[in-house]
Structure 1
């Protein structure tokens, strides 16, 4: 606005210019707003479709993994006693196991020592697991206290599974160095060989008997290490570890607790639960895709006199083509005699286009024809690979959807540029109109002033008669 306008003529110049400017702006602005809204809606719709297709593609990849159909599982009827796992090469079978005892580590103690004991000379302690173990040498300084001896042992043995502690008898203040090992298996008892001067800290491999009168003062093994004892199908077996790798080829057992009165059944077979989970994920991803496309291509009436609500991709040929290609592959039969189509697995199409799974029929197919199920889904000619080929062209970084989104983003940029151009043109129009109207207003003011002067002059002339008086 160019200052106060319309004083000379009395006209509402601001209102007239505003109306003219609005009339000039409105058609183009409505056009740009409509284009921006439609383009933004389409970008959003394509993004939703791209997301649903990406999720579907991930589900296809999971079910197209050949190793999924090679996996074997080992299930235990009592995981509180025993757990089991199996590698892909394991043979299917059922086994009965009993756990009589677990493999254990050892605990040993030195002879009783005065609580104020100090090492009489520098030397070393060699900590061994069994008599034949070369051991780990730990240097002890002259005058080292029992606490310092303990700390030196723990520092040197921290990665060996052996730890040192001190236990003091409250009745007489006598202290014993106690060594504990987590290494299991018979003959793995903790022993300490001492150099000259440190003999009091040595621990022998003799097992101490609590009934022996010298038990409280002698060095030796408090708790001997031992093998796990168990049976498989009645065969008595032993293991130095509670994790058993080689009793049955490609099957690993972990002994958790001992109870020789309870038999544990271990079943080794195909990983049907893993396949079932992947099949359900595939169906869920497909149904989410169908739900998304239905929403994006639907027209919903909201009552008489109101415009219907339309999806962002109504009438889109790309969506129709995509769904047609996917459906064609879903119903196409593939190799196998007992399992040729999804229907043979209990997977059927509903009225709304989604899939449903008959879990019982799927379980039966996996139990009776596991390998054929794998052939249907996985491999170069499998259903998952064929479906992936139909959607990859849409979801790849340079695929159809991303190319369209890129083009639409350019349209949005063009709308912004056109809006800037419109604002500049309107600003120039407004300036020109104000200039023209103000010039007219000034002219009217001048004419009014001249008219008033003439009237005054005529009124002052001698003999002039004003008829209005």
Structure 2
């Protein structure tokens, strides 16, 4: 703590503070203004770079030939079948009929009194197509529920499962129902019993010829309501493409039309089949996918324009007399050069076909500089000139490739915006250093001022003491008349 002004009576602390404030204020204000401006520019360049990056992503998505190789497969009635297509599918229309679906085998074995009934011991050999599943029934597995568990354990990885179904009336009893996930003709479930004791032999089952029943499950035997019966036969799907009758062990068919996968959902009614009613399968270019990516391109460009407008706008505040509020990148040469390059490429004509400029796709520039899409015109261009659209947009010399080449120098590692950003970071570091230098200089100045004012204070104090001494001495001299100071 400085105790000053004792000799002179002056408020030296206030005087030093006033001088310090007057000396610091201009430089501190200048550094604050520079810091605020630099920080705003740093943030603005980050926003600008992010908008360019989003725009470049949209460019890359459109500049991908795979986008134009995609195919769509459309069913006229998805209740009966659906379809997907790969790039190898040829565009075209096909008629489809669905007579019946592929299904797997399901049988109900002989019924017993309850799930706890002790059936007997031995082994079950369950055949599903070419697969034979062996189930050993020991002394500890004689109940119907234990046999069910043993079947599930043995058939878990072979598409076979077992469940117990109980007839509440007790007439049908409790029975094991076997279900296979393997569809297709010739894969009906058959059960053979060997080395049987007790009533285990009743679980043996040989399915009837499905063709003899026209694929319809036989009714329960009224004379033996607990007899084994078929719930569903295994069979192939039956369908036709362009009038050609076909069959498949699965309801998903990949090898009928090249590059197209059909999934059968429901068979047609007997009346539909009798009337030869068909559904349409349309395989075409993925125009919707191209259109969606063009919309993303327009949205990204418009977002870029919105961002640059907000960063370079001058807003009048408080009427005509107010000070305008300027955006952080007003008059920025980097922004101007980038937008100029983009507009130049967007307006350049290319090739000699029907698609030479964006306007041929229905994409035009509005008065505010943003793009807009005429959806109907774009649909027509994609329908009539799909290949030309691909040539116009993709490739190194396509519009998207040229725009990418123009944008890359700005956002690449070590590019224009990164260099600008590093320069601003250096400026911010220099501002911190200048503040530290200013603090050191002010500290030294404060020390010097206090030393000078304290020296003056001591001198004034000494002179005041000397003056009082002389005045006292002179007033005591003989013949000296004391003068009234007020006169």
- TM-score, normalised to structure 1, is 0.90
Deviation at residue 211 of structure 1 after TM alignment: 4.3
1:269 paired with 2:284, answer yes
Distance 1:210 1:425, change over 3 A: same
Deviation at residue 334 of structure 1 after TM alignment: 2.1
Distance 1:367 1:103, change over 3 A: same
Identify unmatched segments of 5+ residues in structure 1: none
Partner of 2:110, secondary structure, is coil
Which residue number in structure 1 is paired with residue 9 of structure 2?
10
Which residue number in structure 2 is paired with residue 204 of structure 1?
206
Which residue number in structure 1 is paired with residue 62 of structure 2?
63
Partner of 2:39, secondary structure, is helix
Choose 189-198 or 371-380, whichever is displaced more: 189-198
Which residue number in structure 1 is paired with residue 214 of structure 2?
none
Which of 226, 237, 242 aligns to 1:217? It is 226
Deviation at residue 346 of structure 1 after TM alignment: 1.3
Listed as ranges, the matches of 1:16-165 within 5 Å are 16-115=15-114, 116-118=116-118, 120-121=120-121, 124-130=123-129, 133-144=130-141, 145-165=143-163
Which residue number in structure 1 is paired with residue 299 of structure 2?
284
Deviation at residue 109 of structure 1 after TM alignment: 2.0
Deviation at residue 296 of structure 1 after TM alignment: 2.5
Does the 8 Å CA contact 1:209/1:215 hold for their aligned counterparts? no
C-alpha separation in 1, matches of 2:181 and 2:444: 89
C-alpha separation in 1, matches of 2:251 and 2:379: 34
Between the two proteins, the alignment pairs up a number of residues equal to 465
Deviation at residue 33 of structure 1 after TM alignment: 1.4
Q: Cα deviations across residues 181-230 of structure 1 (Å, max 9, x unaligned)?
A: 23322222233334423534444334773242355333342221233233
Deviation at residue 449 of structure 1 after TM alignment: 4.4
Partner of 1:192, secondary structure, is strand
Distance 1:194 1:464, change over 3 A: farther
Does the 8 Å CA contact 2:100/2:238 hold for their aligned counterparts? yes
C-alpha separation in 1, matches of 2:240 and 2:310: 61
Deviation at residue 407 of structure 1 after TM alignment: 1.6
C-alpha separation in 2, matches of 1:147 and 1:170: 17
1:248 paired with 2:245, answer no
Distance 1:146 1:440, change over 3 A: farther
Which of 364, 367, 371 aligns to 1:355? It is 371
Listed as ranges, the matches of 1:174-185 within 5 Å are 174-185=173-184
Which residue number in structure 2 is paired with residue 407 of structure 1?
423
C-alpha separation in 2, matches of 1:405 and 1:140: 78
Partner of 1:42, secondary structure, is helix
Deviation at residue 10 of structure 1 after TM alignment: 2.4
Deviation at residue 440 of structure 1 after TM alignment: 2.7
Does the 8 Å CA contact 2:298/2:371 hold for their aligned counterparts? yes
Partner of 2:482, secondary structure, is coil
| Aligned alpha-carbon RMSD (Å) | 2.6
Deviation at residue 460 of structure 1 after TM alignment: 6.6
C-alpha separation in 1, matches of 2:406 and 2:238: 57
C-alpha separation in 1, matches of 2:352 and 2:326: 44
Does the 8 Å CA contact 2:218/2:230 hold for their aligned counterparts? no
C-alpha separation in 2, matches of 1:420 and 1:87: 66
Distance 1:211 1:195, change over 3 A: closer
Does the 8 Å CA contact 2:96/2:241 hold for their aligned counterparts? yes
Distance 1:215 1:222, change over 3 A: farther
Identify unmatched segments of 5+ residues in structure 2: 211-216
C-alpha separation in 1, matches of 2:136 and 2:469: 126
